[in-house]
Structure 1
């Protein structure tokens, strides 16, 4: 008889809990699912479930994250953009339509039960009804808009900023998803995709001029040894990345994700920008960010060629290893800090609102780049 190690046993328990939870949520939906029934399905105690997942919400989010990280591409979907047989969209309207079609593949199929349809949609209706959750959801939606906008900005005609356009596309798609969840069959997904294409013709007068940036204090010039932490997965490319090279490292709490654009827009040519997301609640808020970012970047990877995807790295610093490396003694949802690494040293740092912008624009005393 083969004896399992403690880690193997824990992994087996987690897998059993997730399988049972997927069945429970698929039959009863999030609101009516019960942790006691999940434990019974898994042939475990209630305590065993809670030792792996601290709440029903954390368990539901884990099920949704698993659905995007382990599922194969649906039949008939747009193939991976790296495949030479599938050309990347050439224009802005075509790109918006292709992204919409990829996103809309999650809509429930005929014959899906309401509960199973909600799982397929990765619906969060009724899941985050508290203020911290709603704030994090609003911020991660802003991050999604930035990721989509940067990909759209690579399409002709040249656009200096497409964030407002991306916000409009995501508003339309999420509205279609909500209707599919509450009024199945109401909207035709092909009409929704065509509507997204037509949005490309709107002039939204999108500019980048946050009023607080002129008042941000300059970054502090320092000379500190840089000890890079272990590699983490880049949520945009799906590959593990290291932190030993020169560049700007930005650490953002779940309540400050919109500041990612401040670093991206201020970056100098050739700068390597890394945004690390931290939270004091990795089981729920951390999984929310992982779910929504992974969902959207999965669509981007299927539509856009690698060079057209967002040009910065995005990592989820669940154990705060990168945050510790840049010298943050504590983290929270309002965390915003940044450092610039050059030749194995931290040469500039800032903390607080505007830190990402301050470090990305930091200059040496003679006026040259740091």
Structure 2
């Protein structure tokens, strides 16, 4: 008889809990599923379930992440998608329509059984039942709008319109407002209309004339970054949520540490960075089991939808890392990072040369040493012209 190690037994227990939980959530929905029934179905004790997942919400999010991971195994990571996998688009409308269709494929269609949508990527309404996780969800959607906008602003996508390259965040926000209206309902197809109509509405937004500039009113009041010469000793590798790959942190650039209630500030790093900068956004939270899993679920799934629609060549020069153990935040100099953290550093030649903290930190660290005229206008991918 083969003896399992403690780690192997724990992994087997976790897998059994996930399998049982997926079945229960699918059959009964989030609200009416009981942890006791999950334990019974997995032939485990209630304590065994809670030793692996601290709450029902954490378990539900883990089930959804497992579904995303299985889908990723089938389709590959963003870096594994060949450029030909995303068909050539002839207009912004066509590109947005394709993105919307890919997004809506994840939701149950009208006519499916009620249980078909109960454990599904779009079924988050009942999970967002307190203010901290709702606030984090709102900031995650801000980050998603930025990612979609950067795909629309990429050199390949700019060819889809005769207009001069411009910020596309407002357009992205409108598209996601339509799609998230579908996605947060337990039965989205019935509650918000036919998904094909929604996709067509998103496509029409591609032709809408919008005035969209990046000029946050608080930037003139941001204190300058502090110059320093501190050793940069980062962790070896962490996973990038956008590409799905392990990445290191050497090289010149800007690293911004943002709590999950401050993710909207990621655009400051993207727009303010200099040409050639490596931009890293480090996401921190005091609740990795729930809020951390929400970020992992939404961004990982969103990135796959994005690259399927636009192709990996449109991926922005941005890495997004969930720092659930605080390793990268501690290396930056923020040992007690939480959901409200906003801190940034500039790295040059393996040395931290500037530090900034509080609102506008990314802007301050990215633009330190530059004249105002050097950063008052930026190209859509964030590089100074």
TM, length-normalised to structure 1 = 0.93
After TM superposition, the runs of 4+ consecutive aligned structure 1 residues lying more than 4 A away are: 72-75
Find the aligned partners of 2:192 and 2:318 in 1 and give their Cα distance: 38
Change (3 A) 1:180 1:197: farther
Aligned mate of 1:272, from 278, 281, 284: 278
Aligned mate of 2:369, from 334, 345, 363: 363
Aligned mate of 1:224, from 226, 230, 254: 230
SS of 1:210's equivalent in the other structure is coil
**Does 1:152 find its partner at 2:162?**
no
Match of 2:43 in 1: 43
Find the aligned partners of 1:123 and 1:267 in 2 and give their Cα distance: 36
Change (3 A) 1:260 1:72: closer
**Does 1:331 find its partner at 2:337?**
yes
**Is the contact between residue 21 and residue 59 of structure 1 (CA under 8 Å) also seen in structure 2?**
yes
Q: Which runs of 5+ in 2 are unaligned?
A: 376-385
**Does 1:107 find its partner at 2:124?**
no
Q: Which runs of 5+ in 1 are unaligned?
A: none
Aligned residues: 364
> Bigger shift: 58-67 or 189-198?
189-198
What is the CA deviation profile of residues 29-85 of structure 1, one whole-angstrom value per residue up to 9, with x for unaligned ones? 00000000001011111011001100000000000111111126999xxxx852526
Find the aligned partners of 1:368 and 1:104 in 2 and give their Cα distance: 41
* Structure 1 residue 186, shift from structure 2 partner: 6.0
> Bigger shift: 154-163 or 308-317?
154-163
Find the aligned partners of 2:65 and 2:85 in 1 and give their Cα distance: 29
SS of 2:27's equivalent in the other structure is helix
**Is the contact between residue 89 and residue 303 of structure 1 (CA under 8 Å) also seen in structure 2?**
no
Find the aligned partners of 2:186 and 2:88 in 1 and give their Cα distance: 28
Find the aligned partners of 1:200 and 1:234 in 2 and give their Cα distance: 29
**Is the contact between residue 88 and residue 303 of structure 1 (CA under 8 Å) also seen in structure 2?**
no
Match of 1:353 in 2: 359
Find the aligned partners of 2:181 and 2:147 in 1 and give their Cα distance: 19
**Is the contact between residue 39 and residue 45 of structure 1 (CA under 8 Å) also seen in structure 2?**
yes
* Structure 1 residue 177, shift from structure 2 partner: 3.0
Give runs of aligned pairs for residues 202-281 of structure 1, distance below 5 A: 202-281=208-287
* Structure 1 residue 18, shift from structure 2 partner: 0.5
Give runs of aligned pairs for residues 1-370 of structure 1, distance below 5 A: 1-71=1-71, 82-84=82-84, 86-109=86-109, 112-154=112-154, 155-156=157-158, 157=161, 158-178=164-184, 181=187, 184=190, 187-363=193-369
RMSD of aligned Cα (Å): 2.2
Change (3 A) 1:30 1:238: same
SS of 2:176's equivalent in the other structure is helix
Find the aligned partners of 1:352 and 1:23 in 2 and give their Cα distance: 44
* Structure 1 residue 342, shift from structure 2 partner: 0.6
**Is the contact between residue 123 and residue 186 of structure 2 (CA under 8 Å) also seen in structure 1?**
no
> Bigger shift: 119-128 or 15-24?
119-128
SS of 1:339's equivalent in the other structure is strand
> Bigger shift: 120-129 or 137-146?
120-129
* Structure 1 residue 95, shift from structure 2 partner: 1.2
> Bigger shift: 265-274 or 84-93?
84-93
TM, length-normalised to structure 2 = 0.89
SS of 1:120's equivalent in the other structure is coil
**Is the contact between residue 338 and residue 349 of structure 1 (CA under 8 Å) also seen in structure 2?**
yes
Find the aligned partners of 1:85 and 1:145 in 2 and give their Cα distance: 23
